[in-house]
């Protein structure tokens, strides 16, 4: 079946830049090119931007998914040269400068790939089948449901062994995601679960954080890694370092020669891999599925193809293995490429990318965080205040900022994450019109 070009996309009066991915890099790039002499078409498989740093709060009933998701169309409102299409890119034809999507073809003059990354299971098939990842707001909601369903089930169980396995939660990966998630679950155990299930013996519940390397928070300073471990242990988390999970069959977590753990829930936050871009030669893809780019974000050997954010692998002297896969890198790269597009039009020289490290941080729980600035590391209450402020400012949209702030203030004062709802999807209803439309599309 040959695909048609996507409908309702105006012919470009200006050169067309197609951006694939509405994450930190893609949205920022589009915003920066608003009112520029380019037609900008952003596509994403979802019609919202996701604020990944707060997924763990959705997973632990602290925030509603809508508080950390922002409609992309709203960002593009009244921006005459910006267009958004919800569709999934399936193939890149760099010879003809066309991308193929699940809704049709789009021609480009410049193509910006900002597809981000997905969970890597390092080839562990049964971990992939049985653990839950946290790389989308939908997966964070899945974790919330899974945890609450386990608590409800445990409450109805008489057998102490089964009850214990239902309550045990294993988080794999000692980076910021694993640390923040384990800390937040420990706080649920301490503050809100005993009120919800008053006759349950919560001492039975164990929260494990398992990390293969000798320390937590590998991208941060030694002192932050040690403090994070101490804070987690204070909250009752069992932190196991130097242990690599090799199997999870949905019941037992196996870690080489160490004793296995029986747990009904395992959350996998141990690694990421770049989202695939079919059509690009394998020689362009390197470590962890990232695409090699030069200091101007261009893919060597391809005309007008650029890569930003988690998917890009650019080598700066101080980052010989590529930049860290964090939001600041994505945002700063988008700023640089947008500036270079404007420079192209103004016949000015292009600027190579230089990453300015503004620091990194992670929160472990109520009044506990670790912050590394380029010139100073600090931990504890003040670090927590800084963490709250930085994350609040980074969320898109005034309404979302307000919702998140109110939620945080309420949780802080009441010691209660109030969204412990188990809302499961119902079986989809039969949709005659949708089915007919699908059949028609297949005929095209």
DSSP per-residue string spanning 314-355: --BTTBTT---SSHHHHHHHHHHHHHHHHHHHTTPPPPPP--
Q: How far is the CB of 333 from ligand FAD (least distance, A)?
A: 8
Site for ligand FAD in 273-332 (CB under 6 A): 275, 309-311, 325-328, 330
Q: How far is the CB of 103 from ligand FAD (least distance, A)?
A: 11
Of 15, 139, 180, 247, which one is the catalytic site residue? 180
Q: How far is the CB of 152 from ligand FAD (least distance, A)?
A: 25
Site for ligand FAD in 116-135 (CB under 6 A): 116, 134-135
Residue of 19, 22, 137, 261 interacting with ligand FAD (CB under 6 A)? 22
Q: Does 383 bind ligand FAD (CB under 6 A)?
A: no
Q: 226-262 burial, b if ≥16 CB within 10 A, otherwise e?
A: ebbbebbeebbbebbeebbbeebeeeebbbeeeebbe
Q: How far is the CB of 429 from ligand FAD (least distance, A)?
A: 26
Q: How far is the CB of 71 from ligand FAD (least distance, A)?
A: 12
Q: Does 33 bind ligand FAD (CB under 6 A)?
A: no
Q: Does 115 bind ligand FAD (CB under 6 A)?
A: yes
Q: Does 384 bind ligand FAD (CB under 6 A)?
A: no
Catalytic status, residue 180: yes
The count of residues interacting with ligand FAD (CB under 6 A) is 32
Q: Does 177 bind ligand FAD (CB under 6 A)?
A: yes
- Strands 15-20 and 110-113 turn out to be parallel
Q: Does 21 bind ligand FAD (CB under 6 A)?
A: yes
Q: 121-158 burial, b if ≥16 CB within 10 A, otherwise e?
A: beebeebeebbbbbbbbebbbbbbbbbbebbeebeeee
Three-class HEC string of 224-292: HHHHHHHHHHHCCCEEECCCCCCEECCCEEEECCEEEEECCEEEECCCEEECCCCCCCHHHEEHHHEEE
Q: Which stretch binds ligand FAD (CB under 6 A): 47-55, 198-206, 378-386, 421-429?
A: 47-55
**CA–centroid distance for 391 within its chain:** 14
- The two structure tokens encoding residue 18: 């197609």
Which one, 186 or 330, has the nearer CB to ligand FAD? 330
User: Helix or strand or coil: residue 59?
Assistant: helix
Binding track over 255-284 against ligand FAD, x by CB under 6 A: --------------------x---------
Residue of 17, 18, 19, 26 interacting with ligand FAD (CB under 6 A)? 26
- Strands 82-86 and 89-93 turn out to be unpaired
Q: How far is the CB of 153 from ligand FAD (least distance, A)?
A: 26
Q: Does 62 bind ligand FAD (CB under 6 A)?
A: no
Which one, 6 or 204, has the nearer CB to ligand FAD? 6
Which one, 261 or 307, has the nearer CB to ligand FAD? 307
Count helices and strands (H / E) in the chain. Answer: 13, 26
Q: Do 81 and 34 form a contact (C-beta atoms < 8 A)?
A: yes
The residue behind tokens 């890009």 is: 312
Q: Do 140 and 134 form a contact (C-beta atoms < 8 A)?
A: yes
| Residues engaged in binding ligand FAD (CB under 6 A) | 20-26, 43-46, 52-53, 55, 88-89, 114-116, 134-135, 176-177, 275, 309-311, 325-328, 330
- Which residues are catalytic, by number? 180
């Amino acid at each position: 079946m040959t695909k048609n070009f996507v409908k309702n996309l105006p012919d470009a009066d200006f050169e067309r830049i197609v951006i694939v991915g509405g994450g930190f890099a893609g949205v920022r790039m589009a915003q920066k090119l608003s009112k520029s002499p380019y037609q900008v078409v952003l596509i994403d498989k979802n019609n919202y931007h996701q604020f990944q740093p707060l997924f763990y709060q959705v997973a632990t009933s602290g925030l509603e998914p809508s508080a950390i998701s922002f409609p992309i169309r709203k960002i593009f409102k009244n921006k005459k040269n910006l267009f958004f299409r919800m569709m999934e890119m399936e193939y890149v034809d760099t010879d003809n400068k066309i991308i193929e999507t699940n809704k049709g073809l789009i021609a480009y003059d410049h193509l910006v790939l900002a597809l981000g990354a997905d969970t890597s299971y390092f080839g562990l098939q049964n971990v992939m089948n049985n653990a839950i990842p946290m790389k989308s707001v939908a997966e964070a909601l899945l974790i919330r449901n899974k945890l609450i369903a386990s608590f409800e089930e445990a409450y109805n169980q008489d057998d102490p062994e089964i009850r214990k396995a239902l309550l045990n939660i294993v988080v794999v990966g000692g980076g910021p995601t694993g640390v923040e998630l384990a800390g937040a679950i420990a706080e649920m155990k301490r503050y809100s679960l005993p009120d919800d299930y008053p006759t349950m013996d919560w001492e039975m519940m164990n929260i494990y954080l398992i990390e293969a390397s000798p320390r937590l928070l590998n991208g941060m300073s030694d002192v932050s890694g040690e403090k994070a471990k101490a804070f987690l242990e204070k909250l009752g988390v069992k932190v196991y370092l130097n242990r690599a999970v090799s199997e999870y069959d949905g019941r037992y977590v196996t870690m080489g020669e160490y004793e296995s753990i029986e747990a009904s829930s395992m959350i996998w936050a141990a690694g990421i891999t770049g989202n695939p871009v079919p059509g690009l030669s394998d020689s362009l893809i390197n470590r962890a599925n990232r695409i090699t780019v030069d200091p101007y974000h261009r893919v060597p050997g391809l005309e007008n193809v650029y890569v930003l954010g988690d998917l890009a692998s650019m080598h700066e002297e101080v980052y010989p293995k590529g930049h860290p896969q964090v939001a600041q890198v994505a945002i700063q790269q988008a700023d640089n490429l947008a500036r270079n597009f404007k420079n192209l039009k103004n016949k000015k020289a292009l600027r190579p990318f230089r990453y300015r490290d503004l620091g990194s941080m992670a929160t472990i729980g109520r009044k506990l965080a670790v912050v590394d600035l380029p010139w100073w590391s600090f931990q504890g209450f003040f670090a927590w205040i800084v963490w709250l402020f930085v994350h609040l400012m980074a969320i898109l949209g005034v309404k979302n900022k307000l919702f998140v702030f109110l939620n945080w203030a309420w949780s802080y004062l009441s010691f209660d994450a109030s969204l412990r709802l188990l809302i499961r999807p119902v079986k989809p209803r039969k949709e005659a019109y949708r089915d007919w439309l699908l059949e028609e599309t297949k005929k095209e």
